[in-house]
Each structure stands twice: as structure tokens, then as C-alpha cells.
Amino acid sequence: MTAALSEGDAEVMAAMFKALADPVRLRLLSRVASHPSGEACVCDIADVGVSQPTVSHHLKKLREAGLLTSERRGTWVYYRPAPGVLASLGAFLADTEKAGAEKAGTEETSMAAQVS
């Protein structure tokens, strides 16, 4: 990230982070993303300590936020991370952390110069 987020990008990312703020949703996304085949059947990831209707609700929220895609195959629905989304979120966080560290380093240098 070399520039500040646009209003539209900020709204999209805020919706994603809001969806991830729920521990059950975070666990579901983690299970889908770490599944060996790159996608997971809802039947394989539903054991997160809540009822099946609640799992479906949380998966819907993750889809609506743009974090997951889904495909119905017969009676089951298969989920996979939306292409590029996890990398984009990771890059945003890394760039934000880097910018914060750089700013903190500049402030420390400035304070040290004032003390001298």
C-alpha cells in the first residue's frame, strides 16, 4: 500500500474486518483457508460449537463480505477463500504496520534530536 485507502476501498475492507471480528466466523474462514484441497464442504467445517443454522448464517456473512465464495454440489455447499482477498488483507496489515513503524522511528529520531 503506497497511498491511503479510497473511501470505497475503506468501506470494502471495513466490511471484511467486521465479518472477521466474530470468533466463529474467524474459525470458519481459517478452516476453509487451511483445508488441504483449497475448498471445504460445509459438512467438514461445521463443528465450531454452534448449531448448523448458525454456521450457515456465519458462512453467509463471510460470503457477503467478499471473503468466501461458494458452490452448491448436490446437497452440499463447498466454500473457498475469495481469490486474492486474504493476500490483500495481509498486505494491507503489513503495509499499515510498516508505515506505523516508520512513523514511530521518525518520531524517536525527532525526539532524540530535540534532547541533544
Which residues contact residue 83 at a Cβ distance below 8 angstroms, ignoring those fewer than 6 apart? 69
pLDDT at 1: 46
d(CA 35, CA 47) in angstroms, rounded, equals 14
pLDDT in tens, 10-39: 898 899 999 999 999 999 999 999 999 999
The DSSP annotation for 60-84 comes to HHHHHTTSEEEEEETTEEEEEEPTT
Show the low-confidence residues of the chain (pLDDT under 70): 1-3, 99-116
d(CA 68, CA 80) in angstroms, rounded, equals 6
**Beta pairing partners, 73:** 76
Which helix (H) or strand (E) element contains residue 4? none
